[in-house]
Structures are given as C-alpha cells and as structure tokens.
A and B are shown apart, each in its own frame.
Chain A
C-alpha cells in the first residue's frame, strides 16, 4: 500500500515561518511535489523535489529526504494570501499519475 500523511491544519502568524510536513509510505517514486489550493480554486503547482535536499523558489522552499521517507514545505514571511490548503503528491515508480496526500489547511492570522 501507499500513504502520504500531512497534518490536517496549521495556524501561523503573518510574517512568521511555517513548515508543513509530509511523511510517506510507498515502495518507490520519482519525486515529491507540492500544490497550493485556495478555497473554491484549482490546485496550483508550487515545487518538485526529484533529489534529496532543499529546493528554493522565492518565499517557498521544499525539502526531501528519501532515507527518512519525509519531506516538507517551508513558507517564509507569511502573508495573509498564503492561507490555503497545501498538498504533497508523489509519482510512483512505474505509474503514470500523481498520488496526493489529504492536504494541510494553513490559516495565517494577523
């Protein structure tokens, strides 16, 4: 079987840093992706880690450790507009599709 586990909810203060974790159980995969989804909107791609380590894109960074079966999304200098749901996803080895976690709802408060 396979699973991607994320915290269901996270709350953080505007201007702060927040980390959203994703732990997984899967036999093999090509990489770990992260998506953002605002209420009523479509998921939008944020980042992709094919290799272990940190990938940085502006205020957002994503990390992958295959040996620990673990990844995270780091959001810095939080803004109110960052309030959204965040999903991790993997493309399993030999598969043609992404498998998504259940998502983390981030609420940014003033």
Chain B
C-alpha cells in the first residue's frame, strides 16, 4: 500500500527559484495538509484542503501556494524561494473518521541557498 507519497524527497534551490512539491494519496481521503517542520518548532500547518477544488490557509501560509485539482493530489508551490523556507515538508491526509489520525508522507527536505 502506497499511502501518502511525496516527490521530490530532496531538493536544493537557489534564492528566487520556484518549485512545486507533489503529494499523492491513494486512500480516497477528503482532507489533505501541508506542514513544515523546523528544529525545535514541531509541525506547523502551511495550507490545507477539505476537498477537491478547495484550499485554505494554515498558520504559516506566506510564500506558498497550493492547488487541489484532483482529490488524490495536493501540490505545494514556492514561487520565489527564500532561505527561510529551508525546512522539511510533510504532506498528510485524513479520512475524517474523527480519530485524530493523520497519515503522513515520508517528507521532502528542501534547502534554499
């Protein structure tokens, strides 16, 4: 079972470059999320989606955009990367069962020089 798959797993960017992180889930989950994780700061929500065609801002949305054109995919875009966006990015999905369980991808490590 694939679960939640993120691509790419590693990427190095120069300041000002753009890129897109792709998240795909095969569990037919309605809700999907993008979190970033920095040392000592836990997981912080960037954007999320409650269904195909919908997106909403989380705690730290500035500098990021997202799209959910298909139910199984959730894309995170950086239009002009900054060193402050160096982080590990995690995608997650939720089956809305009310169990408090998120299913996470393996993470994407992004370095912005």
Contact = CB atoms under 8 A, between A and B. Distances in A.
B40 A8 contact: yes
B56 A96 contact: yes
Contacts of A48: 99-101
Given A96-B48, A97-B48, A102 B102 contact: no
Contacts of B45: 97-99
Interface size, B (range):
20 to 34
Interface residues of A, number: 24
Contacts, number: 56
A33 B35 CA distance: 16
B74 interface: no
A42 B106 CA distance: 5
A70 interface: no
B42 A102 contact: yes
A100 B100 contact: no
B64 to A, nearest CB: 15
A43 B40 contact: no
Contact of A42 (B31, B58, B101, B105): B105
Contacts of A42: 90, 104-107
A32 interface: yes
A91 interface: yes
Interface in A34-74: 35, 41-45, 48, 50
B78 interface: no
Contact of B100 (A8, A30, A43, A103): A30
B102 A87 contact: no
B50 interface: yes
Nearest to B103: A45
Contact of B90 (A33, A43, A45, A103): A43
Given A48-B99, A102-B40, A102-B41, 13 more contacts: A35-B102, A43-B43, A43-B90, A45-B101, A45-B103, A48-B100, A87-B42, A87-B43, A91-B100, A97-B48, A99-B45, A100-B35, A102-B42
